[in-house]
Amino acid sequence: MTIGPVVGAGFGRVTVVRVAIILVLLAAWEALARSGLLFRDVVPTLSAIARAFVTLLLQPDFYTNLGWTVGEIALALLVGGVSGLLVGLLLGGSRLLGRAFEPYLYYLGPTPKIIFFPVMIMWFGVGPTSKVALGALSCFFPIALSTAAGMRQIDAVLIRVGRSFRATTSEMVTKIYLPAMREPIVNGVRLGLGVAMIATLLAETKLSNRGFGYLIIQAYSTFDMPRMYAVLIALFALAIAANALIGRFSAYRASRFR
């Protein structure tokens, strides 16, 4: 049972259903907002959210905070990604090391990372560095684990070819291992980006004076609900766009090299 034929036969119908769902949801929202069933402003009217969204986009402050958050996430991904990659190569390349340390990574991976935030504050202070550190810690695990798994599934023929050409270790890494592991690494980076984003933003909501997380918590503490919805919409749009971008990148690379 696949959705292929349905999509193929009725692309128009799918679009109609999508538009209908969105319209029903928006109408239900507006009805709820005007009904007075909930406390005032908990569910603001659509026009109030739209106004808040436009105001948000027009404020230079928004872009400064966006810059901080994007910078923190990028740095977290760089630090956590490079260390994850190195550890993954090490663990994937040695049976003994893999068996000794991978279970720890495997079981520590899904623990809630935000609880390490107090430690990160003690180590790196209350500024952006502690958010970067928490983001890096979060994305280290998925990237290390998928690199190690990817390394083990490399075709043995490729490795023998490299050896028979007497490739040095660095040549083996750059010419054989990394190109052969493109897919698992991109997958790891994708997972890593998601968790780094969550960790960084959550840390910003807990303790900071800039960034997207700060904007959310600031809207909460001033009870500016339309603004909070506006920031959340902007954040979700960015998160989905970033994810789609990496997905597109991996698909493009895979088709180019196949």
Partner 1 sequence: MSVATRMAPATLGLGTLVVVGAALEALIRGGAINRYIVPLPSQVLLAFERIVVEENVVHRFLLTTAETLVAGALITIVGVALGLLLNRVHLLRAACETWVAAFASAPIVLMYPLFLVIFGRSAVTIVMMGFVAALPPVILKTLEGLAATRSVLVNVGRSFNLTPAQMFWKIMLPAALPTMFVGLRLGLIFAMINIVGVEFLINFGGLGQLINELAERYDLPGTYAAIGFVVLVSVLFFYVTERIERWLRPA
Measured from the CB atom, the residue of 114 and 172 that comes closer to partner 1 is 114
Q: Judged by CB, which is closer to partner 1: 107, or 257?
A: 107
Helix (H) or strand (E) holding 132: helix 128-152
CA distance 150 to 93: 10
Q: Residue 13, interface with partner 1 (CB under 8 A)?
A: yes
The answer to whether the CB of 80 falls within 8 A of the CB of 196 is: yes
Q: 51 vs 206, which CB is nearer to partner 1? A: 206
Q: Please give the structure tokens belonging to residue 213.
A: 């997380």
Residue appearing with tokens 């190195």: 86
Residue among 204, 187, 175 at smallest CA distance from 81: 187
By CB under 8 A, tell whether 24 contacts partner 1: no
d(CA 183, CA 178) in angstroms, rounded, equals 10
Q: Is residue 99 involved in binding partner 1 (CB under 8 A)?
A: yes
Nearest to 204 by CA among 196, 239, 137, 227: 196
In the bound state with partner 1, the residue whose beta carbon lies nearer, of 84 and 211, is 211
How far, in Å, CA of 77 to CA of 40, rounded?
40
Tokens of 61: 């402050």
Residue with tokens 């490399």: 154
Half-sphere exposure of 229 (CA within 13 A, CB side): 17
17 binds partner 1 (CB under 8 A): yes
Among 2, 35, 164, 255, contact with partner 1 (rule: CB under 8 A): 2
Q: Which of 3, 58, 156, 157 binds partner 1 (CB under 8 A)?
A: 3
Judged by CB, which is closer to partner 1: 100, or 161?
100
194 binds partner 1 per the rule CB under 8 A: yes
Instruction: Please tell me whether residue 122 binds partner 1 under the rule CB under 8 A.
Output: yes
Reading the block at residue 190, the tokens are 């994708």
Q: Does 54 bind partner 1 (CB under 8 A)?
A: no
> Which of these ranges, 53-61, 64-72, 236-244, 248-256, lies near partner 1 under the rule CB under 8 A?
236-244
Residue 45 binds partner 1, judged by CB under 8 A:
no
Axis-axis angle for helices 60-93, 212-221 (nearest 10): 130
| CA–CA dist 92, 83 (Å, integer) | 14
To partner 1, the closest distance from the beta carbon of 152 in angstroms equals 15
Residue 232 C-beta: closest distance to partner 1, Å: 6
Query: Which residues form the interface with partner 1 (CB under 8 A)?
Result: 1-3, 6-7, 10, 13-14, 17-18, 21, 38, 42, 96-101, 103-104, 107-108, 110-112, 114-119, 121-123, 194, 197-198, 201-202, 205-206, 213, 216-217, 219-220, 223, 225, 228-229, 232, 235-236, 239-240, 243
